């Protein structure tokens, strides 16, 4: 399966939580990072990054709920999968 085929399958699944992508599509392997966090009143949205072969796939959707009385379907946020690329960054520390 190619990266674009897997991305299409994830998008067709119309997942309510980005965490469900890993369960529904085991070929994604494990989550390697979580980026671009957005806090909303009742839930949190993040982009979960997965390594698939030599490529990176991002799945953006709800990842956290702030109310025990709601489920991911209540957020009305459909996950979106897309190809990502790794960007190296520079950081500094005290010598």
pLDDT of the residue at 29: 85
**Per-residue pLDDT at 2 exceeds 90:** yes
Structural domain includes residue 90:
no
C-alpha to C-alpha distance for 31 and 38, rounded to whole angstroms: 18
Model confidence at 15, pLDDT cuts 50, 70, 90, reads very high
Domain encompassing residue 56: 3-84
Torsion over CA of 29, 35, 40 and 44, rounded to 10 degrees?
30
Tens-digit pLDDT profile for residues 80-92: 999 999 998 888 9
Structural domain includes residue 93:
no
Structural domain includes residue 91:
no
Tens-digit pLDDT profile for residues 31-71: 999 999 999 999 999 999 999 999 999 999 999 999 999 99
Model confidence at 78, pLDDT cuts 50, 70, 90, reads very high
The total of structural domains in the chain comes to 1
- Residues 6 or more apart whose CB falls under 8 angstroms from that of 69 comprise none
pLDDT of the residue at 30: 86
């Amino acid at each position: 399966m190619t990266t674009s085929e897997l991305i299409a399958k994830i998008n067709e699944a119309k997942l309510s939580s980005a965490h469900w992508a890993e369960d529904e599509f085991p070929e994604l392997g494990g989550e390697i990072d979580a980026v671009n966090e957005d806090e909303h009143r009742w839930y949190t949205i993040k982009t979960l990054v997965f390594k698939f072969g030599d490529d990176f796939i991002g799945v953006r959707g709800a990842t956290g709920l702030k109310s025990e009385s709601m489920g991911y379907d209540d957020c009305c946020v459909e996950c979106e999968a897309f190809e990502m690329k790794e960007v190296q960054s520079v950081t500094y520390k005290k010598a």
